[in-house]
Structure 1
C-alpha cells in the first residue's frame, strides 16, 4: 500500500462506489485498522463523496466547496482546524472525485491492479511484464507488479532472486523495490537481483543499473560484468568472478581452474543441498583444482564426475552430503 499510494485512493473510490473486490476490501480494512488518522481521512473522504449530488446515469458532478461545508458542519472543528484539515485532505479528496467522476473511468482503470506471481512449486517461472520486459523467477522468488505506470515509473516489488531483461523505455524508469528497502534502478538491460532480509546483491550481465535506496545520492552504478551489494552497512561494486550467477536459469555450471573448496559451495547453492567437507580433507580440497562444465546434470552425476577427476569420496544422506578422502 505504501509503495502505490494512488492504488489506495483507487480502492477507496471503488469502495465508495460499491465496486471493490474481496481482496481490495481486505486491503482497505487493513489500512483503516492501521491508525486512527487513516480512519479519520476515510470518514472525511466518504462524507465528501456522499454529499456530491448524482446526475444523469452514472455520471456525477461535484461541488467540492459545498461538500466541504457539510463535512465541516459534521465534524465541527475550530476554524483553524478546518483550514488544516482542508489542506491535508483536499488533494486526496480531489483524487477521489476524479476517480469516481464516472463509472467509465473505473472500468477503464480496472486493469490497473497489482498482480503477484510466485515460483513456489520447486520450478523457475518466467513472465512478460506489461511493458514487454521479461522476468525469470528462481525457485522461491515472488514478484508483484501493476498493469501500468506509477508516477510515470515502472515499479515491481521482488522477494528472492530473479533475472531481468528490461525493455528500453527512457521515459518510464524501471525500479525494483525489495523488502529490505533497497531500490534497483534500471539503466540498461539484463541482470540478476537477489534480495535477502538485510541485503541485496545485483550482478549485471549487460547494460547498467543503479543500486542503493530511494532518493539515495550515494547509490552505485553497476556496469556489465560487475557485482554490487547493498546492506549491512555496505554499498560497493566489484568485478563479478562468478561464472555461474545465472546457472539456476541456464542449467549450465562452469568451473575454470577452481579448487574443490570453491566448487562445492556453488554446487550446494545450485542443487539446494548441504554439501560439507570433512575437516581432515579441507586442506587437500583447497589444492585440488578442476576445469569442467556441466549441463543440466543431476547432483549425483556431477559429484561422480568430480570424484573420478579428483579422487575423493562422498556420502549422501538426503539433502546432506559429506566429502572426504
Structure 2
C-alpha cells in the first residue's frame, strides 16, 4: 500500500494540492522507495517543462495509446485458471494497481499539463505607436505595424515574448529568469538591458541594436547554429540568404554616441523619424507604417534616391514637402480620402 500511497501523493504534489503533512509523508516514502523517488523526480521535471496545448481529441488518442500498452495479464481473465499462490496473488494485485495508477496518472498529468493558457497580444497598428509595461516591470515601446505576444506563464519560470515588427525594450533584471524575445528564425536572450529589435515579417533583415547591458542573439549561419554577443552601442544586421531563407549573413555596425546625438535606431519611440543614407524605397515602407498610408511610385528609378535627416512629429504632407525640396527630383500627391501617396518624376 505504501507504493500506491507514494504515487497518489506524487500526483497531489504535482497538481499543487498536497498539504504540508502529505508532503512530509511523501518525503518519508521517498526515502524508503529510492527507485520510485527517482522516477517521481523525472515526472516532476517533465511536468515543469513547456509543452504545446493539446485538444480534447488529442488527449483521447493518447489515452487510447496508453491503454493499449496494458499487458494481457492486466485484463480480466475469460477462462478458468488455477488459483495463484498467496505470494503471486499479492504481486499480481500490486502489478495491476501500478498499471492502473500509471495509466490514470499519466492521463491526468497529460491533461493537466496541456491545459490552455491565456495569451496576451499587444498591438501597434499602422499609423500608431504604443507603450506597455509587462508583468515583471519591463517597459516596451512598439513601433507602427508591430505585435507582441506573451502568455500567463510570463514572469514565473520564464519570460518569453514573440515579436513581429519593431520594439524597444528596457528589461527589468530578474535573477534566474532570463528574458527572451523570439522572432522568425532568430532569438534574443538578455538578463537586464535596453535594446531595439526590428523584425518585420515582410522584410528580409533582422536588426538588433544594444544601448546598454548585453544581449545574445541566436540565429542560423550557413545552416548551422550561431551566437553573437553584443556590447553596448553595437548593432548587428542579419540579412536572409536567398538560397537558404532560414539562414542569415551578419553585418556589425557601431552606433553613434548616444550622449552627443540621438541614436537613430530608437528615435522612433520619441516620435522622431530618423534616417541616414536610406533609400527612398526603404523609407517609403517606413512611411506606410508610420502614417498608415499606401505609397505608389510612378517611376521605379525614384526608389533608388537616398535621404538623410530627422523629422519629429510632422504630418505626411510636411514630411514629403521637405523630402521633395531636398532632392528636387520628384513631386507628390496625397489623397487623404484613400490614404494614398503618389510619387512621380518632375
Q: Which one of the candidate residues 285, 296, 302 is aligned to 1:282? A: 302
Aligned mate of 2:55, from 31, 34, 38:
31
Q: 2:186 and 2:95 mapped to 1: Cα distance?
A: 40
Equivalent residue number for residue 291 of structure 2: 271
Aligned 1:241-256 pairs, distance under 5 A: 244-256=264-276
CA contact (8 A) 2:174 2:192 kept: no
Q: Give the deviation of 1:70 after TM superposition.
A: 3.8
Contact 1:277 1:324 in 2 (8 A): no
CA distance in structure 2 between the partners assigned to 1:258 and 1:160 by the alignment: 19
2:323 maps to 1:296: no
How has the CA–CA distance of structure 1 residues 208 and 36 changed in structure 2, closer, same or farther, with 3 Å as cutoff?
same
2:226 partner SS: coil
Please name the residue that 2:226 is paired with. 218
CA distance in 1, matches of 2:194, 2:62: 40
**1:234 is aligned to 2:252:** no
Query: Using the alignment, how far apart are the partners of 1:291 and 1:28 within structure 2?
Result: 46
Q: For residue 176 of structure 1, report the CA deviation from its aligned partner.
A: 1.7
Which structure has the larger Rg over C-alpha atoms? 2
CA distance in 2, matches of 1:176, 1:254: 25
Q: Within 5 Å, give how 1:110-149 maps onto structure 2.
A: 114-119=118-123, 122=126, 123-138=128-143, 139-146=145-152, 149=155
Matched, 1:322 2:346: no
Secondary structure at the residue paired with 1:169? Answer: coil
Structure 1 residues 160 and 282: CA distance shift in structure 2, 3 A: closer
Q: In structure 2, the residue corresponding to 1:176 is in which secondary structure?
A: strand
Say whether the 8 Å CA contact 2:299–2:344 is kept in structure 1.
no
Query: Match of 1:218, SS?
Result: strand
Residues 313 and 324 of structure 1 are in contact (CA less than 8 Å); yes or no, is this contact kept in structure 2?
yes
Residues 51-98 of structure 1: per-residue CA shift (max 9 Å, x gap): xxxxxxxxxxxxxxx998447259xxxxxxx8xx79x949x85996xx
- What is the aligned-residue RMSD (CA, Å)? 4.8
Compared CA separation, residues 307 and 135, structure 1 to 2 (3 A): same
Aligned match for 1:169, one of 166, 174, 184:
174
TM-score by length of 2: 0.55
* 3-state SS in 2 of match to 1:141: strand
Q: Tell me the TM-score normalised to structure 1 length.
A: 0.58
Q: Which residue of 1 aligns with 2:73?
A: none
Aligned residues, how many?
252
Q: Find 1:313's aligned residue among 331, 336, 342.
A: 331
In 2: Cα distance, 1:67 partner to 1:199 partner: 61
Shift of 1:32: 3.1
Cα gap change, 1:181/1:208 in structure 2, threshold over 3 Å: closer, same or farther? same
- What's the counterpart of residue 203 of structure 1? 208
For 2:158 and 2:164, the matched residues in 1 are separated by 19
CA distance in 2, matches of 1:89, 1:73: 10
Q: Is the 8 A contact 2:154 2:160 kept in 1?
A: no
User: Is residue 2:78 matched to residue 1:72?
Assistant: no
In structure 1, stretches of 5+ residues that fail to align are 1-8, 15-26, 45-65, 75-81, 100-112
Question: 5+ unaligned residues in a row in structure 2: which ranges?
Answer: 1-10, 17-50, 69-92, 257-262
C-alpha distance in 2, partners of 1:158/1:263? 22
Aligned to 2:55, the other structure's residue is in SS state helix
